[in-house]
């Protein structure tokens, strides 16, 4: 069980909420923070800029593939960027919270 932080930008609040709700309902992430950002990036050899919603999500490395699949179904971008960062340390109880909420326990 390896905790990760995931980063993803969305086109708007509606899309961010749709993705957030789906990932939480499917128990693929334990928490999602949303914030508006101003982004500048290269796209098809041009510099673009947009207002976007950044999702900062907490999950487990084992869930990355399913998270990516779910986002692909819901995201409007031709190419979205989902990044996973390893968690080196966390506060007391955080790892247990992840495990209790995301790891299926035997009946």
Q: Is 58:31 a contact under the CB 8 Å cutoff?
A: yes
Question: In the CATH hierarchy, which fold is given to the domain comprising 3-102?
Answer: Alpha-Beta Plaits (3.30.70)
Cα angle 103-104-107, degrees, rounded to a multiple of 5: 150
Q: What is the pLDDT of residues 78-104, one digit of tens each?
A: 999 999 999 999 998 998 899 899 976
Domain regions of the chain by residue span:
3-102
Determine the pLDDT at residue 103.
Answer: 79
pLDDT-derived band at 1, boundaries 50, 70, 90: confident
pTM over 0.85: yes
Q: Is 55:71 a contact under the CB 8 Å cutoff?
A: no
Q: What is the pLDDT of residues 34-69, one digit of tens each?
A: 999 999 999 999 999 999 999 999 999 999 999 999
CA atoms of 101 and 26, how far apart (whole Å):
11
């Amino acid at each position: 069980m390896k905790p990760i932080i995931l980063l993803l930008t969305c086109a708007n609040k509606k899309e961010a909420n749709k993705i957030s709700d789906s990932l939480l309902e499917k128990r693929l992430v334990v928490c999602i923070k949303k914030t508006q950002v101003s982004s500048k990036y290269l796209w098809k050899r041009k510099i673009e800029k947009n207002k976007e919603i950044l999702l900062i999500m907490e999950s487990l490395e084992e869930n990355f593939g399913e998270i990516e699949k779910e986002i692909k179904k819901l995201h409007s971008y031709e190419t979205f960027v989902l990044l996973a960062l390893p968690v080196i340390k966390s506060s007391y109880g955080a790892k247990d919270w992840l495990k209790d909420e995301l790891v299926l326990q035997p009946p």
